[in-house]
Chains A and B, each alone.
Chain A
């Protein structure tokens, strides 16, 4: 068991040891003896490339057709799905849409930046031609009459929605186990959870069932599964992406986020879905920069590409309750950043520990409000009952899992406090660093009956939601566990609407990280290049 939440912590007086011996990354994932994977040999490790850009290149150079690409992905999806169960619904129109892109290319028409890119969409984001259940029986047969704005934009840019990915019911959970339909497995070890609530989206990208995917992040639901599944996850600033069409959990915290196998892919997807939407009054009118233009190719990097970048390491995130393997991996990543020229410092967020209780109070009161419409009459399964009150009670008990029946109270003052302490820290630093989760992926069922332990797993991420800031999680190494080791995610937190900086730093980090290849063992065949 990797989680050290209950283990005595290893004390470190400082994060950066005085002996100054450069910490090296786990250059080689710890392989489990039982399952050698040829693909995973250290010799084949090269920095992750942008799948989206390579797809675009091969499409436009007529090397492959969108249909061929889609078929490759679909066959892999089908192959992995029985074990992974990351999709609730797979679209029937993928090949048809791929064909229409091929037709466009044939006619030499312009195609959008996401042409031929298969996008998985978390099932709490509305899609017009597919069910949108939010992982709940209550919405089992619900088909929205509209596309979420993010989905609409993906389609406008010629992206292909491959299907709806699994999640914890209404996004409430951290393991994807509370989905009403299926439990999704972690591609790195199918006996482990993929994290949650966007576990399906993370697992699908990790297993290359789709190129990129959309998730939603209320308290870490993009970042924690990204960490567990070894993919890049981006939680944008609150208001950067329209929430229209996102089935609400806690409206003041919810954001739609992106998953990709590289920072570049995540950035391209974010560019596509960002921007003000007049259907969402909370979406920001802040200008959307071209996030990808700041990404510099590895070949052109200087020796110290991040010189002068001030990085603050959040002290509270490396204290008690953090798995030792995770801690050392993150500290390794920190020294890598130092090697890249960053100026490191240790920052303290005094309100950090308040985040979790504040989050759960806020989230449960907002969710109880948002979920009150699912009375079992308008949506879902209606229970047979004598009178109206009994009808409502029975239907809700029938439709909702245990997670959705929670308390209803409220306090928001802590939020201001947290926002202030982040502001202070970010005035002094360009980005803040922390682990994305206190542990790597744990076993399915391990924490199911210990909700408090599961909640405390959100401790690294909820503060960012309360402050509304953007955060990028990218894999930075491995810890022991599973057949070939388990990935660990590094969380970078930036100032509001400064996703560009996070993507730039993340991209350089990713390109310069040696010896790691974050491809899970489950993938039998090669990734199309």
Chain B
């Protein structure tokens, strides 16, 4: 489960690796050659990242920016660059830049300024971009990254050259894109002068100035990366950082985080850099990874063929469809942007108090978190899962500039984990719960950890309740697991419940881990407290933990081979161990006799259920009721059914027209019941056995069983179950298919869900393979015979 949730950067690693196009036959050989060639060269990778800041208003004017709004609806004279309009710095931009600069361990420029970068493009309304040139606000920092375990792991430190503030340009739209058509008018005509822009709309090229003037931070890395995965992890860490800091939503799809990658290669051992190539259009971490790997292979191939001169300084575009880079434009030397200080804006002067106050307000950053978790003793995989957050997997899109309200959009899982630990929960257990059931639940329900109803305090309480009474230390995890399973079986299968006495903390109180899961799901879906659910569901049992410990010890020591396998990763053996545990010890548990009802039919499922009941459930002092419900089968002659005589059996209900069926109408009718009864007597001679037969015309077998079980005051209901519901749906039928419910719902399933007493659905797995058990709270539990 863990591996599927690690950072997005490592998500799509299994995607096809870049290959140079060649004839299909030689493809594989060629790839092999490429791998070998690639080893002879070293790649030098640097990344320029643009982060769009989540400020409430643009960098130099009061317009808000909302991604996806209608073109040119969020513009004003300033961001449209109308003559006479002047920019004024949004102080939040400086604050965010200082935040990120500090988080990237940079040296801040206490005196910096804005410059004009002049270039000509239709989406640049002023003819220049306000940026920072020779004095960026932050320089000379670094970013620490832990590579994912599945890629060899390892800690890396990548240098940061500079961080500077600038404004974004507008967007060019082509009318024939279909994305925006010519019908687009200005729904919000702020001023009549917008008509100026409509001029542009008459031509094929259209400009949307909503994004013009939106604040950006440009982060330039040192050329410290050597592989695609390193570059992708660098970008992912940067995304985490801006989200932790709340300065940006870091969303790559929306363009809030844009990476341009510079790649050059050189023969291993050479100190001179090769010709660098810039790659654009990288919309995900995995495309960064793949584009770089492709580019390295492409350049290495050219090198090895002696065509190194064909590697030219250029900008290449990553094409997601064909999985390769193509030339976008060749560069003619360095562009002259004619930078000069922006005369419309005063210098940016920071003072120490200001910087100190921001420094002290910084949250715990991902790197600090990882180191802290590592010190707690968590494995690197756990550390990465928790600290590197998985939130983004579940959040489809961000709405509005939530960051601007100081709401950090990431680190929620880590925060939840921290809060759980703060409440005293065991670190490893808390990590397991979060990464296991909770993560699975979030994924299924497409929820974030903030959206589930479970609170950190309740998780801590749950963990404490489970752990409280069970065995610590000694033989570790297995004991805990098997003890829990054992207790689950007792609870579920033997119907042993005691009242909750409010002594949760007592050592003698155990909530079973199987129950733990069900409590957990209850908490996640509906909220509430652990204690509340325990009381409501009556889930408490008083057991002497030392007794369980002994039993588990015994089972484990008797099965060293299986234990070895289990420790080696065969977790399915849990069932095996649980099956080895003896039935509930009545002296320790509940000594009173119970009434168990088994639904009897002339089917294999029913026989299996009875077999399970005799071997695993019933004790000598218990009472067994074999209930057979006779329903009219579709192939039967309705008249025959109608003419049946009234029953002379002991138990009748007003609703039923029961009878002891005779003749062909109920083939083998009495026989199988008699056989079953005899089987019971053989297995457990002292067992009191009753046979019940009920006939119904309505066909609603489940309802009859329910009312019967209530009338008898049954403690535990056992019913044979077909292999799976899907079989039934696919039309898998057998002659005595009497287990079908009236409305196509599996009768057993219905009973499991609706029975007042505990109900166990039993599927026997072959002759010696044990049973697959289903109860209301525990699904598909495989009990080995």
Q: List chain A positions with a Cβ less than 8 A from chain B.
A: 125-126, 132, 134, 139, 142-146, 148, 243-248, 250-252, 278-282, 365-366, 368-369, 371-375, 377-379, 388, 392, 408, 410, 412
Contact = CB atoms under 8 A, between A and B. Distances in A.
A388 B205 CA distance: 11
B84 A132 contact: yes
A139 B82 CA distance: 11
Contact of A365 (B122, B126, B197, B338): B338
A279 B340 contact: no
10 contacts: A143-B193, A146-B77, A146-B84, A244-B84, A245-B85, A250-B343, A280-B344, A372-B128, A373-B81, A379-B196
A377 B340 contact: no
Interface string B180-203: 000000000011110011011000
B395 interface: no
Which of B81, B82, B88, B125 has its CB near the most chain A CB atoms (within 10 A)? B82
B88 A280 contact: yes
Contacts of B344: 248, 251, 280-282
B86 A144 contact: no
Given A145-B193, A377-B200, A378-B196, A279 B84 contact: no
Contacts, number: 102
Contact of B343 (A126, A366, A368): A366
A375 to B, nearest CB: 7
B77 A246 contact: no
B83 interface: yes
B253 to A, nearest CB: 30
B591 interface: no
Given A251-B343, A281-B346, A282-B344, A373 B85 contact: no
Contact of B126 (A134, A250, A278, A373): A373
B127 interface: yes
Interface in B49-89: 77, 81-89
Nearest to A242: B86
Contacts of A388: 122
Q: Which 6 A-B pairs have the closest CB atoms?
A: A372-B127, A252-B343, A251-B343, A145-B191, A126-B84, A247-B83
B346 A282 contact: yes
The contact size tier of chain B is 20 to 34
A512 B344 CA distance: 41
Contacts of B85: 146, 244-245
B127 A375 contact: yes
A389 to B, nearest CB: 9
Interface of B: 77, 81-89, 116, 118, 120, 122, 125-128, 190-193, 196-197, 199-200, 338, 340-341, 343-346
Given A126-B84, A144-B82, A365-B338, 4 more contacts: A251-B343, A366-B340, A378-B196, A408-B338
Contact of B83 (A252, A280, A373): A373
Nearest to A373: B127
A328 to B, nearest CB: 39
A247 B86 CA distance: 10
A377 B345 CA distance: 27
Given A143-B193, A145-B193, A282 B343 contact: yes
B118 A145 contact: no
B77 A145 contact: yes
Contacts of A372: 118, 120, 126-128
Contact of B86 (A280, A366, A369): A280
Nearest to A372: B127
B83 A139 contact: yes
A369 B82 contact: no
Contacts of B341: 412
A410 B125 CA distance: 23
Given A244-B85, A281-B89, A372-B120, A365 B191 contact: no
Chief secondary structure at chain B's binding surface:
loop
A279 B86 contact: yes
B86 A243 contact: yes
A281 to B, nearest CB: 5
Contacts of A282: 86, 343-346
Contacts of B89: 281
Nearest to A409: B338
B334 to A, nearest CB: 17
A25 B731 CA distance: 120
A243 to B, nearest CB: 6
B397 to A, nearest CB: 33
A132 B83 contact: yes
B153 to A, nearest CB: 49
B73 to A, nearest CB: 15
Contacts of A366: 340, 343
A134 B83 CA distance: 9
Contacts of A410: 338, 340
B461 to A, nearest CB: 53
A282 B341 CA distance: 13
A134 B82 CA distance: 13
Contact of A145 (B82, B87, B199): B82
B328 to A, nearest CB: 17
Contact of A245 (B84, B88, B122): B84
Contacts of A247: 83-84
A443 to B, nearest CB: 32
Nearest to B207: A378
B343 A144 contact: no
Contacts of B81: 373
Contact of B125 (A245, A281, A373, A412): A373
A278 B116 CA distance: 21
Contact of B192 (A145, A248, A368, A371): A145
Contacts of B126: 372-373
A369 to B, nearest CB: 5
A246 B83 CA distance: 8
A126 B83 contact: yes
Contacts of A126: 83-84
A391 to B, nearest CB: 10
A198 to B, nearest CB: 16
Which of B84, B197, B343, B346 has its CB near the most chain A CB atoms (within 10 A)? B84
A281 B122 CA distance: 26
Contacts of A139: 83
Nearest to B190: A145
Contact of B340 (A125, A281, A365, A375): A365
A144 B340 contact: no
Given A279-B88, A392-B120, A378 B125 contact: yes
A81 B498 CA distance: 106
Nearest to B193: A145
B84 A144 contact: yes
Nearest to A134: B83
Contacts of A252: 343
B75 to A, nearest CB: 11
A168 to B, nearest CB: 16
Contacts of B191: 145
Nearest to B114: A281
B329 to A, nearest CB: 15
A126 B85 CA distance: 9
A144 B127 contact: no
A412 to B, nearest CB: 8
A442 to B, nearest CB: 31
A139 B83 CA distance: 9
A230 B660 CA distance: 129
Contact of A142 (B83, B86, B197, B345): B83
A482 to B, nearest CB: 36
A377 B125 CA distance: 11
Given A132-B84, A244-B85, A246-B84, A375 B196 contact: no
Given A282-B345, A369-B116, A375-B120, A244 B86 contact: yes
A134 B338 CA distance: 25
A372 B127 CA distance: 5
Nearest to B344: A251
Nearest to A389: B120
B627 to A, nearest CB: 85
A139 B84 CA distance: 12
